[in-house]
Amino acid sequence: MSDPIITVEGLTKSYGKRLVLEDISLEVPRGKLVGLLGANGCGKTTLMKIITGLIHDYSGTVLIDGHRPGAFSKGETAYLSERTYLPEWFRMTDSIAYFGDFFPDFDKNKALELTQRLGIDPHQRLKTMSKGQKERLQLVLIMSRRAKLYVMDEPLGGVDPAARSVILDIIMKNYSENSTMLISTHLVHDLEQSFDHVLIMGRGKVLFAGDIGPIKAKGMSVEEKYKEVYGDAWQID
């Protein structure tokens, strides 16, 4: 692969005696929407946390745009975690000011526009918001950046179908063609039409990596490919 945005070589990570990522190597192509698929506990979140610089004690090499995860790569990466990480006393306006302070690629006007579109009161404190509202707010902040790499951990997890389409709409309409988007999900069906490339993980390994084109050429959907890769084990893994 020529000039990938993410390069991982021989990555191994364990939590105590539990091996989560076992000597994995992969490359994420630049400028594509990449699906990171796999069952719960297969190491997707750990991989994303390593890429975004939240986990440091691992062995192997991880490069983001040619740099090890650190201050430089964090400036190029927008990360949507599965946690709500903003202080409870923040208002949306505080969050926008905060992101504007630290990320030069953050577009405040876009953030305000998306906030209004989602019907969130910019002066409402986070502690009075529902979990779904907070997640959408974080999504707005992430998508208001013009990052080179977007890393999204289960953006559709625990979201009702109506909200899911809103989230998907925000993601698709606001990500630029030059950016790379790595999205982890096990709701394969909702996102498979959008993916350019998929990485399927299982038991701490990359079981499949490839473009969507050849999968579709075989007359298969991504979901079918996913099931094929997992075989009989996919339902119980």
Partner 1 sequence: MLGKLIKNDMRAAARGVSNVYLAALIAIAAMGICLFADVGVGKVIASILLILVSIATIIVTIVATLGEFRKGMFGDRGYLTHTLPVKGPTMLFSKLVTSFCWIVISYLLVFFCAWLAYYYWMGESSDSLVYMISEMLPELGMPEKGVLIETLVFIAIKGVFLIIVFITEVFFALTLANVRPFSALGGFGSVLYFFASFGIVVFLSSRAEKLFLTAVLVNADQSLGFTTDPGAITAIRNAGGASVTLTQVYVEIIAAVVLFVLTAELIDKKINVK
Q: Report the interface residues with partner 1, using CB under 8 A.
A: 16, 49, 52-57, 70-72, 74-75, 77, 79, 81, 83-87, 89, 98, 101-103
- Give the nearest distance from C-beta 45 to partner 1 in angstroms: 11
| CA-wise closest residue to 145 among 48, 46, 54, 74 | 74
CA distance 216 to 224: 10
Nearer to partner 1, 153 or 192 (CB): 153
Nearer to partner 1, 56 or 173 (CB): 56
Nearer to partner 1, 41 or 53 (CB): 53
Rounded alpha-carbon distances, angstroms, from residue 53 to 64, 70, 153? 10, 6, 14
- Give the nearest distance from C-beta 73 to partner 1 in angstroms: 8
| CA-wise closest residue to 183 among 152, 207, 214 | 152
Nearer to partner 1, 41 or 75 (CB): 75
**Which backbone phi and psi does 219 adopt, to 5 degrees?**
80, 20
- Give the nearest distance from C-beta 86 to partner 1 in angstroms: 7
| CA-wise closest residue to 50 among 70, 36, 33 | 70
- Give the nearest distance from C-beta 57 to partner 1 in angstroms: 6
Nearer to partner 1, 67 or 227 (CB): 67
Rounded to the nearest 5 degrees, what angle is found at the Cα of 169, between the Cα atoms of 168 and 175?
90
CA distance 18 to 231: 24
- Give the nearest distance from C-beta 212 to partner 1 in angstroms: 29
